[in-house]
Amino acid sequence: MRIHFKPRLAAIGLSVALSAATLPATAQVMVGGAPMLPSKDIIDNAVNSNDHTTLVAAVKAAGLVETLKGPGPFTVFAPTNDAFAALPAGTVDTLLKPENKPTLTKVLTYHVVAGKYDAAAIMKMIADGHGMAKLKTVEGGTLTAKAGAMGKGVTVTDEKGGTADVTIADVVQSNGVIHVVDKVLMPK
């Protein structure tokens, strides 16, 4: 069987398409040492990831647990503990204070897009957008997605020019999809 790709899609998304095509439909994605079960919601999976304890604590402090347990669907760009640790000293502790809940909520909802956008959908949006896709966040801002180096993966740029690479894509949830990112994205 011969497979033909449109040239522009091949350059951008070949690695994503091939890796997705070779995974069995029931393959479990491991994040932070724990299997991410498609039958569980975003919160129920995130609490099991050793790489997302800071994110889970922040979601709890912002009062977003019930929202992210809701039906969605949501696409979440989930920063790791290392991503939070890379912020300037004291940032996380300051954000977690009760008086800073509005700011914390703004930062966290900036990582959430309404709808379920797996890697293939994002790569198609990038191709259709001639190399970039604008994603409207729940917070109201915009993230810009582009193909990563050599057409592999996705890089997301925030409104301040900061970039995060998707390190684990397509962590399917009952109410959406998570893409693990290596930096915290910041709204204006």
CATH for 28-181?
Answer: 2.30.180.10
Domain locations in the chain?
A: 28-181
Tens of pLDDT, residue by residue over 81-104, are: 999 999 999 999 999 999 999 999
Tell whether pTM > 0.85. no
With cut-offs at 50, 70 and 90, classify the pLDDT of residue 27: low
For the record, the structure tokens of 36 come out as 């991410």
SS3 for 85-144 is HCCCCCHHHHHCCHHHHHHHHHHHHCCEEECCCCHHHHHHHHHHCCCCEEEECCCCCEEE
Q: Confirm if 161 and 176 have CB atoms less than 8 A apart.
A: no
Tens of pLDDT, residue by residue over 38-82, are: 889 889 888 888 889 999 999 999 999 999 999 989 999 999 999
